[in-house]
């Protein structure tokens, strides 16, 4: 899916219904459950709109036809896939080794247009902390800057 306006998010749920947000996709970004798209099996991720959004959907069959008709599109999607793989690998390593504060700063770098418009609960889910912890961390940060 390509987001032409608005913002989407992808996430999975644990056995208690807790959401683990994997990605936000603001305007101009791509988002997909790649497992589902590539294998054509049921997906593992939920994707929904954070706010009103418009998207362009493309099926795997249509994309394969376009690859044959427009070879440069094949190259474009390969680069997108490679960049996505690097991003997910980096994020997995960051989640394992960085502090919550550093993960929050990475979130702000990756999604500068979303910092002030995404609910703190969703930001907390993305960086892997509780909303209460994020709130306390941000409050302590703002106090230390005063």
Model confidence at 54: pLDDT above 90: yes
Structure tokens belonging to residue 35: 């497992």
Kindly list the strands in the beta sheet with 46-56, ordered across the sheet, starting from the edge strand earlier in the chain: 19-26, 2-13, 46-56
Q: Is the pLDDT of residue 141 over 90?
A: no
Which range, of 45-49, 53-57, 113-117, averages the lowest pLDDT? 113-117
Global pTM value: 0.84
Q: Which residues of 99-120 are buried (b: 16+ CB within 10 A; e: fewer)?
A: eeeebbebbeeebeebeeebee
Domain annotation covers residue 63: no
Look over the chain and give the mean of its residue pLDDT values, rounded to a whole number: 91
Q: Place 18 in a pLDDT band, splitting at 50, 70 and 90.
A: confident
* Secondary structure (DSSP) of 68-79: HH-HHHHHHHHH
Q: Does a structural domain hold residue 69?
A: no
Residue 128 lies in a domain: no
CA distance 144 to 50: 31
In a domain? residue 127: no
Please count the structural domains in the chain: 1
Q: What is the mean pLDDT of residues 22-39?
A: 91
Tell me, what CATH number does 17's domain have? 2.60.120.10
Q: Quick check: 144 pLDDT over 90?
A: no
Can you give the residue range of the structural domain that contains 10? 1-57
d(CA 12, CA 119): 18
* Residue 3: pLDDT over 80: yes
Question: Of 110, 104, 114, 139, nearest to 8 (Cα)?
Answer: 114
82-130: per-residue pLDDT in tens? 988 898 899 999 999 999 999 999 999 999 999 889 999 999 999 999 9
Among residues of the chain, what percentage have pLDDT more than 70? 98
């Amino acid at each position: 899916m390509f987001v032409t306006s608005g913002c989407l998010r992808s996430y999975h749920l644990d056995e208690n219904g807790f959401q683990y947000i994997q990605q936000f996709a603001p305007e101009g970004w791509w988002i997909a459950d790649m497992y589902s798209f590539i294998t054509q099996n049921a997906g593992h991720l939920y994707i929904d709109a954070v706010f009103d959004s418009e998207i362009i959907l493309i099926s795997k069959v249509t994309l394969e036809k376009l690859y044959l008709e427009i070879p440069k599109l094949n190259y474009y999607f390969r680069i997108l896939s490679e960049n996505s793989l690097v991003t997910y690998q980096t994020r997995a390593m960051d989640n394992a080794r960085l502090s919550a504060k550093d993960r929050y700063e990475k979130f702000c770098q990756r999604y500068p247009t979303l910092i002030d418009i995404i609910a703190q609960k969703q930001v907390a889910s993305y960086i892997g902390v509780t909303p209460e912890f994020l709130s306390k961390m941000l409050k302590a940060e703002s106090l230390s800057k005063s």
